[in-house]
Amino acid sequence: AQSVTQPDIHITVSEGASLELRCNYSYGATPYLFWYVQSPGQGLQLLLKYFSGDTLVQGIKGFEAEFKRSQSSFNLRKPSVHWSDAAEYFCAVGARGNTPLVFGKGTRLSVIA
Amino acid sequence: GAVVSQHPSRVICKSGTSVKIECRSLDFQATTMFWYRQFPKKSLMLMATSNEGSKATYEQGVEKDKFLINHASLTLSTLTVTSAHPEDSSFYICSARDLSSGSTDTQYFGPGTRLTVL
């Protein structure tokens, strides 16, 4: 069965510190992987995606993620967190074409001064 | 990039009434759109797949007679919550994938509709 696991429900980091959000997936075919961010009461904004090629992908707002097939992981990283990064982050997996995405349960990021 | 809109963004209704939510792809055609539901502090759960010109495909446990989906054109899908009850209160999000030539095959999400049933 297709599934996405985000082990951390809530993470708190200091502003300026580095960040890594974990994501593990289970998918029968070649996965297409995504990270979305959601601010309270808002929709989802795509941060980055991996389809193929270079396993280190760069996204918006200074985020990057690395696809590791051997570990079935797609962890999201940012070298220096800003207070405006506080939000809910969702990892998702899907296939190419008209197929829906399967989402993890999300990780809530809090940023403290 | 491609944009998906939803209307209304927020709706409050009385129990027993019906509410229609629109999802539009603004600059691309979408033969398929997806409807998700998000409970407070929870992840997105796929409710149904909306197919242009044909019947929607519902996920297990989703009542198709309660959540009516119509995909009348390549840019518009509607979700109607019929005879709404307080337990239908939730955040509903639609998405569509731009599969046109030159696109990046990315799924774009609408901003969501907050439904509150009193």
Residue A72 per-residue DSSP state:
T
- Cβ–Cβ of A46/B46 closer than 8 Å? no
Residue reference for tokens 């190419």: A96
Return the pLDDT at B70.
92
Nearest chain B CA: its distance from A6 CA (Å): 11
Return the pLDDT at B101.
62
Q: Are B26 and B4 in contact (CB under 8 A)?
A: yes
In this prediction, residue A41 has a pLDDT band, given cuts at 50, 70 and 90, of confident
- Mean pLDDT of the B55-77 span: 93
Instruction: State CA B97 to chain mean position distance.
Output: 13
Residue A86 per-residue DSSP state:
-
Q: Residue B97: which of A41, A98, A106 has the nearest Cβ?
A: A98
Report the 10 Å Cβ neighbour count for B113.
23
Share of chain A above pLDDT 70, in %: 100
User: Count of alpha carbons within 13 Å of A94, Cβ hemisphere only?
Assistant: 19
In this prediction, residue A10 has a pLDDT band, given cuts at 50, 70 and 90, of very high
Minimum mean pLDDT among B22-26, B59-63, B95-99: which range? B95-99
By CB atoms closer than 10 A (0-12, 13-18, 19+), residue A28 is exposed
In chain B, residues with a C-beta closer than 8 Å to the C-beta of A51 are: 105
Helix (H, G, I), strand (E, B) or coil at B51: strand
- Cβ–Cβ of B107/A101 closer than 8 Å? yes
Tell me the pLDDT tens digit for each residue of A43-98.
889 999 998 889 999 999 999 999 999 999 999 999 999 999 999 999 999 887 77
| B1 vs A16, more confident | A16
A44 touches chain B (CB under 8 A): yes
Tokens coding B98 = 């731009």
